[in-house]
Amino acid sequence: MGRAYRILVVDDEETIRSMLRDLLSANGHQVDDAVDTRSAVQLLRGREYDVVLTDLMLPDGDGLEVLRIARSRPYDPEVLVITAYGSIDSAVEAVRAGAFDYLTKPLATQKLLLTVDRAAERRSLRTEVSNLRREVGERYAQKNLVGTSAAMRRVLELIDIVSATDSAVLIQGESGTGKELVARAIHYGGARATRHFTAINCAALPEALLESELFGYAKGAFTGAATDHKGLFEESDGGTLLLDEIGDMPLLLQGKLLRVLQEGEIRRVGSAAVRRVDVRILASTNRSLPDLIRDGRFREDLFYRLNVIPLVIPPLRERAEDVIALCRHFLTVHAGKLGRPPQTLTPDALQVALHHDWPGNVRELENVIERAVTLTSSLEISADEFQRILGLGHVPARPAAAPAAADAGSLQNAEKDTILRALREAGGNQTRAAIALGMGRNTLWRKMKKYGIESRI
């Protein structure tokens, strides 16, 4: 016997109700039953069910109504519809409207039990996933954004406002200022919190690959496209997609993105079919989009569409108050990781931190503090020590547009992974992989050598 579930049976025929009640309780489940929509709704409001089995034709309405009300309950049960032979069309409609499956009368016992089990199984998986997402969400909630400066308070306020909406948000700020953290706080603070959050770096992939990652492709769209493939817009349906480094998105794709934003529609590469998607788009950049527009490298219409609500995170050097709060925060976090009591910075050491210009922003500050905690053991970290530790990983000041040193590494990893994947998908055929990657065969060969990728995969 499998697990026991709570099941609601809705049918106006007494014979069907008692047959289902007997059969399901004999298999260990708890069963309630209702004779019409009205009493079903009452029960649905009163207690939680794992699975609802409903006839499509009811004396005071139809099963679709029961389906709608059941799925809108917070415990969100799976619904199976029962239909008389000959009315398959409405059963299919019910599945489209969110029913798990349909069963035709006369009911076959074994199939019925199996389907109920599968439905209940899916519900518990769904619950598990959404609990996990909630836990992840906790980690990315607004309260994890440290900062008390006026600028940061404004950012937190804006996050609150935009979390409650579904509009696109453009998050601007230098590298390491917390753009991705802000994007996550927006997602996990809103109605989509239990759905997917995905981030993709638009600068890390060659154009053709970025397009198929985002939009998916149809079988045969290009060499190596052996099956249909969903892109990130479809994968993120119901959730949020962060387009990181949006300034690096090629112009052609910018046009297609505009269509997603305006119409909520996508077309897979190599397919004529238009698909609807419900994705919240967040975009981030550390470059000046107006400059890129002036150079003809970014579409002005897309900029306005994305920039409905601009969210600018100022560089850390302009937020002295936050430097202090962040130092304290990371001292506690990293001491905690080592199981030690938190250290403090002497007032002079704090002055050093305040006068540093933090070209790598919060990411740099966190690294420095982590190093300080690891390398010192005194309860107080002196100015000299702090200065020395700052110097250890000194990144020379650089123009805001250049990617951070830390990013170059992850960029290269992303490129290596992409190449490996393309090669695998092309069955090791380098010419085909090069086409899929949108690069010349020689370029691919050079990169394989650079990353030490064997020619046979």
Ligand X SMILES: Nc1ncnc2c1ncn2[C@@H]1O[C@H](COP(=O)(O)OP(=O)(O)OP(=O)(O)O)[C@@H](O)[C@H]1O
Which residues contact ligand X by CB under 6 A? Answer: 145-147, 173, 175-181, 286, 362-363, 366, 404, 407
CB 428, min distance to ligand X, A:
33
DSSP, collapsed to helix, strand or coil, labels residue 284 as strand
CB 373, min distance to Mg ion, A:
24
Which one, 175 or 418, has the nearer CB to ligand X?
175
Chosen from ligand X, Mg ion, none, partner binding at 283 (C-beta under 5 to 8 Å by type): none
Chosen from Mg ion, ligand X, none, partner binding at 173 (C-beta under 5 to 8 Å by type): ligand X
Which one, 88 or 401, has the nearer CB to ligand X?
401
Chosen from Mg ion, ligand X, none, partner binding at 370 (C-beta under 5 to 8 Å by type): none
Return the structure tokens found at 243. 């387009």
Q: Which stretch binds Mg ion (CB under 5 A): 172-180, 185-193, 293-301, 391-399?
A: 172-180
CB 199, min distance to ligand X, A:
9
C-alpha dist (Å) from residue 368 to 178, 352, 386: 16, 12, 9
CA gap 119, 51 in Å, rounded: 7
Which residue in 36, 76, 160, 180 binds Mg ion (CB under 5 A)? 180
CB 292, min distance to ligand X, A:
16
Return the structure tokens found at 301. 């219409």
Which one, 163 or 286, has the nearer CB to ligand X?
286
Return the structure tokens found at 173. 């700020």
DSSP, collapsed to helix, strand or coil, labels residue 148 as coil
Q: How many Å is the Cα radius of gyration of the chain?
A: 28
Which one, 225 or 283, has the nearer CB to Mg ion?
283
Which one, 95 or 411, has the nearer CB to ligand X?
411
CA gap 8, 67 in Å, rounded: 12
Chain position whose Cβ is nearest to ligand X: 178
CA gap 362, 59 in Å, rounded: 64
Chosen from ligand X, Mg ion, none, partner binding at 177 (C-beta under 5 to 8 Å by type): ligand X
CB 399, min distance to Mg ion, A:
18
CA 371 to chain centre: 31
Q: Which stretch binds Mg ion (CB under 5 A): 171-179, 287-295, 307-315, 329-337?
A: 171-179
Which one, 190 or 314, has the nearer CB to ligand X?
314
CB 453, min distance to Mg ion, A:
26
CB 175, min distance to ligand X, A:
4
Question: Binding string, 194-223, against Mg ion, x = CB under 5 A?
Answer: ------------------------------
Which one, 179 or 229, has the nearer CB to Mg ion?
179
Which one, 313 or 448, has the nearer CB to ligand X?
313
Chosen from ligand X, Mg ion, none, partner binding at 239 (C-beta under 5 to 8 Å by type): none
Identify which of 384, 456, 453 has the alpha carbon closest to the alpha carbon of residue 426.
456
CA dihedral 250→255→258→262, nearest 10 degrees, is -170
234 binds Mg ion, rule: CB under 5 A: no
CA gap 428, 138 in Å, rounded: 42
At a CB cut-off of 8 Å and minimum separation 6, what does 91 contact? 56, 81, 83, 99, 102, 104
181 binds Mg ion, rule: CB under 5 A: no
Chosen from ligand X, Mg ion, none, partner binding at 297 (C-beta under 5 to 8 Å by type): none
CB 209, min distance to ligand X, A:
20
CB 204, min distance to Mg ion, A:
11
Which one, 24 or 145, has the nearer CB to ligand X?
145
SS (H, E, C) 188-253: HCCCCCCCCEEEEECCCCCHHHHHHHHHEECCCCCCCCCCCEECHHHHCCCCEEEEECHHHCCHHH
DSSP per position, 287-344: S-HHHHHHTTSS-HHHHHHHTTEEEEE--GGG-HHHHHHHHHHHHHHHHHHTT-PPPE
CA gap 433, 457 in Å, rounded: 12
Which one, 145 or 257, has the nearer CB to ligand X?
145
Q: Report yes or no: 228 and 218 within 8 Å, Cβ to Cβ.
A: yes
CB 307, min distance to ligand X, A:
17
At a CB cut-off of 8 Å and minimum separation 6, what does 35 contact? 10, 11, 12, 17, 59
Which residues contact Mg ion by CB under 5 A? 179-180
